């Protein structure tokens, strides 16, 4: 099992600009499905049962974690990063959808495996409890999850998972109703960008663009707002399905990822103060529209493939 495969089977690729909501005083934009949902779908198609729990009582949450650790079961925890002590200060915003794995306890230090770290780390009990009960939007409330039953996984299950994952992702990106999610969400954002300079003033508009870049290239995206990750998934999927058409479409996502990065460079010009004209904002908006077209065509191609059931 690899990261791209898990991402693709869970239909991870997405785009949404959540209306009205602001995060760190900027627009709330996401390039992927909620990680919990990706995990859930992937486990379901692999026939793995996952138990998840939230707590209103801090002591109960600690006791439950201790018990699972004693049983030797590694558990996933949703945490907020603001109080996460081993994170560099520059990255510590009030962001609550970070996940880590507690795999053991030594003395009073919990052993932690964090996906953004190259190495494992530790947290004391008060530190861990604090991040598990971070507050604000999407507060984790001690959210904890672990696999219950693991059955042997066959290639056939993976193939089925891939096909249903692709089909669901096509639905999420091009058939989703409304104008602020899926590929149409990119157009929605693009239209906003055109208005930002006049509406918000140059300073705030450039901060908003900075926010988009940070969401797109945040640690753990694999670059290009997850587009490269999806490209890698399609490449692996092609090998499983023995279908070259799929790996050809993978190229389209590589292109989309590159286009996202190109527009990030352009946006950087604005928040560095090099580009200040309205026409620069128009150009960025046009770049997003081009990206949208590439993604839309790629998903339409995926939709027209007959991948079996």
Partner 1 sequence: MKKEDLPQDPGALDNFTREVCYVKNEDGKYETALSKGWEVKAQALDSAWEDVNARIEEARQAVKNGEKSPIHYFMELRLMDLPVLSGYTGFFPFFIKRHLKPAIFAGLSDRKLAKYATAFDVTVEELKNFKG
Interface residues with partner 1 (CB under 8 A)?
4, 24-25, 82, 87-88, 90-91, 93-94, 116-119, 135-137, 139, 206-207, 210-211, 213-214, 217, 219-220, 222-224, 228-229, 231-232, 235, 250, 254, 257-258, 261, 264-265, 267-268, 271-272
221 contacts 206 by C-beta, under 8 angstroms: no
Residue among 13, 128, 23 nearest 77 (CA): 128
Find the shortest distance in angstroms from Cβ 209 to partner 1: 8
- The token pair that represents 220 in the structure block: 């753990």
11 contacts 169 by C-beta, under 8 angstroms: yes
Give the three-class secondary structure for 99.
Answer: strand
- The token pair that represents 144 in the structure block: 């904890």
Find the shortest distance in angstroms from Cβ 254 to partner 1: 7
Residue closer to partner 1 by CB (options 187, 261) is 261
Find the shortest distance in angstroms from Cβ 163 to partner 1: 20
Find the shortest distance in angstroms from Cβ 37 to partner 1: 21
Q: Which residues contact 53 (CB under 8 A, 6 or more apart)?
A: 64, 142, 143, 144, 145
Residue closer to partner 1 by CB (options 116, 150) is 116
208 contacts 237 by C-beta, under 8 angstroms: no
Find the shortest distance in angstroms from Cβ 274 to partner 1: 11
- β-bridge mates for residue 106, sequence order: 109
Find the shortest distance in angstroms from Cβ 229 to partner 1: 5
- Residue 122 has a CB neighbour count (10 Å cut-off) of 17
Tokens 């861990």, located at residue: 128
Residue closer to partner 1 by CB (options 36, 80) is 80
Q: Which residues contact 175 (CB under 8 A, 6 or more apart)?
A: 182
Query: What is the rounded CA–CA span in Å between residue 195 and residue 212?
Result: 15
Residue closer to partner 1 by CB (options 22, 67) is 22
Query: What is the rounded CA–CA span in Å between residue 309 and residue 298?
Result: 20
Find the shortest distance in angstroms from Cβ 71 to partner 1: 30
Residue closer to partner 1 by CB (options 174, 232) is 232
Residue closer to partner 1 by CB (options 173, 229) is 229
Residue closer to partner 1 by CB (options 23, 144) is 23
Residue closer to partner 1 by CB (options 142, 184) is 142
Find the shortest distance in angstroms from Cβ 269 to partner 1: 9
**How distant, in Å, are the alpha carbons of 19, 162, 195, 272 from that of 166?**
26, 6, 35, 38
């Amino acid at each position: 099992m690899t990261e791209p495969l898990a991402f693709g089977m869970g239909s991870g690729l997405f785009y949404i600009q959540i209306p009205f909501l602001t995060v760190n005083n900027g627009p709330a934009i996401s390039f992927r499905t909620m990680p919990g949902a990706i995990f859930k779908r992937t486990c379901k198609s692999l026939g793995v049962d996952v138990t998840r729990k939230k707590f209103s009582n801090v002591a109960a949450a600690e006791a439950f974690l201790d018990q699972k650790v004693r049983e030797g079961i590694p558990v996933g925890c949703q945490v907020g990063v603001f109080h996460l002590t081993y994170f560099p200060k520059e990255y510590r915003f009030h962001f609550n959808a970070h996940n880590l794995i507690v795999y053991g306890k030594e003395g009073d230090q919990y052993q932690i495996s964090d996906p953004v770290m190259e190495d494992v780390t530790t947290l004391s009990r008060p530190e861990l409890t604090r991040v598990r009960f971070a507050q604000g939007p999407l507060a984790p409330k001690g959210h904890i999850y672990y696999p219950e039953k693991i059955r042997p996984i066959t290639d056939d299950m993976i193939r089925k998972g891939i096909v249903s994952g692709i089909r669901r992702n096509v639905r999420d990106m091009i058939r989703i109703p409304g104008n602020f999610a899926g590929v149409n969400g990119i157009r929605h954002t693009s239209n906003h960008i055109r208005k930002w300079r006049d509406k918000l003033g140059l300073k705030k508009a450039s901060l908003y663009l900075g926010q988009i870049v940070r969401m797109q290239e945040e640690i753990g995206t694999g670059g290009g707002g997850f587009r490269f990750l999806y490209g890698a998934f399609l490449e692996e999927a092609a090998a499983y399905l023995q279908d070259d058409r799929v790996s050809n479409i993978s190229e389209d996502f590589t292109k989309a990822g590159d286009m996202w990065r190109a527009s990030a460079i352009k946006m950087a010009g604005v928040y560095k103060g090099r580009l200040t004209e309205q026409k620069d904002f128009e150009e960025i908006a046009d770049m997003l529209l081009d990206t949208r077209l590439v993604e839309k065509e790629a998903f339409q191609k995926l939709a027209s493939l007959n991948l079996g059931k």
